[in-house]
């Protein structure tokens, strides 16, 4: 008998509204067990190593309904859904936080490892705007495999009273299914069509935003656009993730509720009482070329970026917004001097922040305080959010919202959902396009055509994973 695909044959998950779950929490049972050494390996981006053990992202080969949180080959991947909590509106983050807390209190678990990511864990994706039609969600996967420096584990989640699957059965689901199609890149280019705004509309939106900034309405506004991209052949979400993880190993390769991407921006990680955050804003676009010219280009761009007054001012506003959100919740918080972060497609100005939280503040409370930073909204926040709503012409859904995971005592790791796409249910295929997002901070002295090129450069990770080659991607200006 062939093993079923990991996301096949599982019962549909119960979906609960977060306020309902907070009032009458579901009772779940979790079980975490250590996995034998060598079963899963930490390949660079989550893909197989020389020893031939599958990487975390290899476990998702051919799968559609998956969750992922992988960086440098370590993290969490899962499939199936034991519980889905949903929230909407201005209180969506607090509603999810209290529903998760109530669920944890009502649940039971066995976890001999007690490490970050073991025991009860939920992965979440939160809408950028309180007015979004998209649900903000926390998902408890039925099977979750984790890998850290000390080894791998498996957590299973079932309703109270149900049997946990045998470890052997769960392990059989870990092996990439023999029936899964190998990930072969299609020779044909994907179909690309404009999303909510054409390129010309986006340039108009930038001009309108700058006009409003000139009369003092805001100092910085982050504007985004979307593209609809359908690959030439069906592409499993797991395969898309593996391509992202391999090309962008230093980013967080995420998948939650059909939002997939490789984000470089850490909104907040809370471990014990210590937090870490990495604010990104200010961008230089990389071009292609041979290895030597790429190296020279990185040096030149890094010097240019560090000296650019427009990018420094844009960065400072994002950094200040994160610091002022964190300060009231921390007994101490410190920011380093900005540095340049180099990624395969772009360079960013980056500020690393560390702190110690006061009281029993959890990761979701920090997320609520931080979102939206001026890296994705602007300054002042309310004015920038209003301009975005009026000028951008689209519902961002979960793009630019928080994405990450939270554990049983409120610790976890959250990024901003950037360099990402919203996939149709069931995954991308010809006729079923992904909605790919890219944005950038507009300043009074921004050059609109540069901002447009920057959005394309930021879409490159996902466009390339969807099969657009260098030529069809164009050379960013």
Ligand X SMILES: C=C(O[C@H]1C=CC=C(C(=O)O)[C@@H]1O)C(=O)O
Write out the residues near ligand X by the rule CB under 6 A: 222, 224, 265, 280-283, 348, 375-376, 418-419, 438-441, 458
Q: Do residues 162 and 173 touch, judged by C-beta distance below 8 A?
A: no
Considering beta carbons, is residue 31 or 419 the nearer one to ligand X? 419
| 127 C-beta neighbours (distance < 10 Å), count | 27
- What percent of the residues of the chain are helix, what percent strand, and what percent coil, each to the nearest 5? 30, 30, 40
CA dihedral 71, 127, 393, 387 (to 10 degrees): -100
Considering beta carbons, is residue 242 or 285 the nearer one to ligand X? 285
199 belongs to the catalytic site: no
User: Cα 417 from chain centroid?
Assistant: 4
Task: Please name every residue paired with 341 in a beta bridge, in sequence order, or none if there are none.
Answer: 348
Considering beta carbons, is residue 165 or 441 the nearer one to ligand X? 441
Considering beta carbons, is residue 56 or 377 the nearer one to ligand X? 377
Choose the catalytic residue: 86, 265, 392, 413: 265
Choose the catalytic residue: 199, 217, 220, 411: 220
220 belongs to the catalytic site: yes
Quickly list H helices, 308-395: 309-326, 363-370, 381-391
Per-residue HEC secondary structure of 380-405 comes to: CHHHHHHHHHHHCCCCCCCCCCEEEE
Considering beta carbons, is residue 95 or 451 the nearer one to ligand X? 451
Sign of CA dihedral 319, 358, 106, 142: positive
Distance CA 29, CA 24 (A): 16
User: Which residues are known catalytic residues?
Assistant: 220, 265
């Amino acid at each position: 008998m062939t093993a079923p695909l990991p996301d096949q044959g599982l019962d549909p998950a119960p979906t609960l509204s977060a306020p309902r779950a907070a009032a009458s929490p579901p009772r779940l049972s979790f079980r975490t067990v250590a996995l034998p050494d060598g079963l899963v390996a930490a390949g660079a981006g989550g893909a197989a190593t020389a020893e031939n053990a599958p990487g975390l992202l290899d476990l998702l080969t051919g799968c559609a309904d998956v969750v992922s949180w992988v960086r440098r080959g370590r993290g969490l991947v899962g499939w199936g859904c034991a519980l889905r909590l949903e929230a909407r509106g201005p209180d969506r983050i607090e509603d999810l936080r209290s529903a998760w807390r109530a669920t944890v209190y009502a649940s039971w678990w066995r976890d001999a490892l007690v490490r970050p990511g073991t025991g009860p864990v939920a992965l979440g994706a939160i809408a950028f705007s309180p007015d979004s039609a998209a649900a903000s969600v926390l998902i408890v996967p039925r099977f979750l495999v984790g890998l850290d420096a000390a080894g791998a584990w498996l957590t299973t989640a079932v309703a109270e009273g149900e049997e946990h699957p045998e470890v052997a059965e769960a392990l059989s689901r870990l092996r990439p299914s023999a029936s899964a199609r190998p990930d072969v890149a299609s020779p044909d280019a994907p179909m690309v069509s404009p999303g909510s705004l054409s390129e010309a509309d986006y340039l108009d939106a930038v001009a309108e935003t700058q006009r409003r900034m000139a009369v003092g309405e805001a100092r910085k506004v982050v504007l985004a656009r979307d593209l609809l991209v359908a690959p030439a052949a069906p592409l499993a979400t797991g395969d898309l993730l593996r391509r992202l993880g391999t090309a962008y190993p230093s980013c967080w390769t995420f998948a939650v509720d059909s939002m997939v991407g490789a984000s470089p921006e850490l909104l907040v990680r809370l471990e014990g009482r210590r937090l870490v955050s990495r604010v990104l804003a200010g961008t230089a676009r990389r071009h292609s070329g041979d290895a030597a010219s790429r190296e020279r280009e990185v040096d030149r761009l890094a010097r240019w970026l560090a000296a650019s007054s427009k990018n420094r001012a844009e960065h400072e506003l994002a950094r200040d917004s994160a610091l002022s959100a964190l300060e009231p919740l921390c007994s101490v918080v410190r920011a380093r001097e900005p540095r340049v972060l180099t990624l395969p497609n772009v360079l960013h100005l980056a500020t690393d922040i560390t702190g110690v939280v006061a009281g029993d503040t959890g990761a979701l409370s920090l997320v609520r305080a931080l979102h939206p930073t001026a890296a994705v909204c602007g300054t002042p926040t309310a004015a920038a959010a209003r301009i975005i709503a009026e000028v951008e012409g689209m519902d961002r859904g979960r793009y630019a919202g928080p994405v990450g995971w939270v554990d049983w005592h409120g610790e976890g790791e959250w990024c901003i959902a950037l360099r990402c796409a919203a996939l149709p249910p069931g995954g991308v295929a010809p006729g079923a396009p992904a909605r790919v997002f890219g944005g950038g901070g507009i300043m009074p002295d921004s050059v609109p055509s540069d901002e447009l090129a920057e959005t394309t450069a930021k879409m490159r990770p996902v466009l390339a994973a969807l099969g657009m080659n260098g030529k069809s991607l164009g050379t960013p200006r």
